Amino acid sequence: MEGMRAAIHLSGDNLGQGYWTATKKRRMWESRVATTVALVELLSRLESPPEVLVCASAVGYYGDRKDEVLTEAAPAGDGYLPELCMAWEQAAEAARQYGMRVVHLRLGMVLAKDGGALAKMLPLFRLGMGGRLGSGRQWMSWISLVDVVHIIDRVLADTELSGPINVVAPQLVTNAEFAHTLASLLHRPALVAAPAFALRAVFGEMADAVLLASTRVMPARLQQAGFPFQHATLEVALRAVLMPSAAAA
> Please, how many CA atoms are within 13 Å of residue 144, restricted to the half-sphere of its CB?
21
CA distance 231 to 220: 16
DSSP state of 136: S
Taking only the tens place, the pLDDT of each residue in 158-177 is: 999 999 999 999 999 999 99
- 86-124 confidence digits (pLDDT tens): 999 999 999 999 999 999 999 999 999 888 889 989 999
Instruction: In whole angstroms, give the CA distance from residue 114 to residue 96.
Output: 35
Domains and CATH numbers, the chain: 6-242 (3.40.50.720)
Indicate the angle between helix axes 175-185 and 234-242, nearest 10 degrees: 40
- What percentage of the chain exceeds 90 in pLDDT? 90
Average confidence (pLDDT) over 181-186: 96
Give 138-148 pLDDT, tens digit per residue. 999 999 999 99
Maximum distance among all alpha carbons in the chain? 59
Residues forming beta bridges with residue 52, ordered by sequence position: 6, 101
The pLDDT confidence band at residue 246, using thresholds 50, 70 and 90, is: low
CA 234, 239, 240, 243: dihedral to nearest 10 degrees?
160
What's this model's pTM, rounded to 2 decimal places? 0.94
Q: Alpha-carbon distance 165 to 143, whole Å?
A: 13
